[in-house]
A and B are shown apart, each in its own frame.
Chain A
């Protein structure tokens, strides 16, 4: 389903919620006022504090020279890495896949150390999922597990899950919905869930899932840490009686498990007894889009290596993730699009990036761009250029540019690099 917009509204690309009800006041091609967006969205839509300029080896150059230099680096590279794209439109992502095929690159995005495993399970139909509009209209039991949307996706609770009234939930949060939060600390979201907050120790999610499955099966739940079994039974009871349940999986849960098996087991058990769905709390606004586009093209959602000159051959595996390929020093050049791996990866892993030429395509200056050999500024997608993106629940959202710019979009820059190659 493609979501069509009311013509006065714009889409916010601050996070994977892609809120489509944002009004803006524009004065002389500058956004002066933003209505309804959260603070995170406002800071994205108001643009960068430190815009990036086109440079080659630290010297400011013309954009064409920067694109030429980027093409030269990729041409001379035996094993390039293309990384990022979570903050790019579908069009740019498809172009990047094309480029990766052409130059035989390793292609990966943040999902390899983020929500990749959850999305893989959903794409392969191992876990039942639904849309956020279904959640608003039907959900009566909402579980946030290892997630704090109040900080990561501020409008998650108010726009889709807990607070709004929906078709089958006319009395909203006061009477029709129950919100549960399971986390290792009392986050801002956990505070709202009141006495339905379950605080568990670090790395204890798997034990808690097992205990919950026991409770759902009518056994006495046991966990290796101090926890009142009555509270687990009470939680199991709420989940068992749900008419439309939803679990929002955050990185807290994904990071604490070795694989997705415990979640799949829990979902199977819940669906024997009631009706439960799962949506991963995707961070970047189009990370799911990248996974979807690559999955459609290759059958894998991240961590792939294309073979130069052979368009159809693609290898997939953990060894092609950004972390492993940098650890093993397998790459000799990196094209980073809309991401900042030097900040987000541990220093020991990111170290190898400092030994190889980096090309960054980004609207704003980042730590990675400061260490890059070539920097190419791009238009801020969702504000200066339009396109489409995929929301955290898999719905496609189209958006138009809000203000005009002469800066090239990610897609145009990648097209120009392809031409130069």
Chain B
């Protein structure tokens, strides 16, 4: 997953304010949180920044597919290994004798499960990254071998 500094390095770094933000660094942070899109930076469309524009577009995947907790599953990268299903602390707490020990989920309350070889989400409100007491849990991100899971 990209960080704000990596994004900033690819921006024009002129602080022109055309995007409505006061600095390019502020724009980078907005881009990371999907508040703005790459197209909101007019100078990036110059020929000079063509390569950077392409890199940024590949790096910042649109947030349309994101769940309410901000999770995006890149289906083309996922091969259904189920590491995230077994590692997710909510799945373990809700289904300790199913998903918790590596077997098929036996409870409806799990938030990750594998269907047709791809991980699917449900009950996203129970995700630890959601709600008032959210924490930056990364159980499903660090266990994914292909970086198929991302949070925005």
Contacts and interface: CB of A to CB of B under 8 A. Distances in A.
Interface of A: 9, 21-23, 33-43, 136, 150-151, 154-155, 157-160, 163-166, 172-173, 188-189, 191-192
B85 interface: yes
A179 B143 CA distance: 12
Interface residues of B, number: 27
B101 A165 contact: yes
A35 B81 contact: no
A41 B83 CA distance: 16
Contacts of A158: 81-83, 85-87, 102
Contact of B87 (A37, A42, A154, A173): A173
B19 to A, nearest CB: 35
A21 B103 contact: yes
Nearest to B82: A158
B102 to A, nearest CB: 3
A405 B81 CA distance: 30
24 contacts: A22-B104, A33-B116, A35-B104, A36-B82, A36-B105, A36-B113, A37-B117, A39-B80, A40-B79, A41-B80, A42-B116, A150-B145, A150-B146, A154-B79, A154-B80, A154-B81, A158-B82, A163-B102, A165-B100, A172-B92, A172-B100, A173-B143, A188-B146, A192-B142
Contacts of B73: none
A40 to B, nearest CB: 7
B114 interface: yes
Contact of A43 (B105, B117, B145, B146): B117
Contacts of A172: 87, 92, 100
Contacts of A165: 92, 96, 100-101
Given A35-B115, A38-B80, A188 B145 contact: yes
Contacts of A33: 115-116
Contacts of B83: 157-158, 163, 192
B102 A35 contact: no
A133 to B, nearest CB: 10
A189 B81 CA distance: 11
Contacts of A163: 83, 86-87, 102, 143
Contacts of B78: 39
Contacts of A192: 83, 142-143, 145
Contact of B81 (A136, A157, A166): A157
B81 A38 contact: yes
A164 B81 contact: no
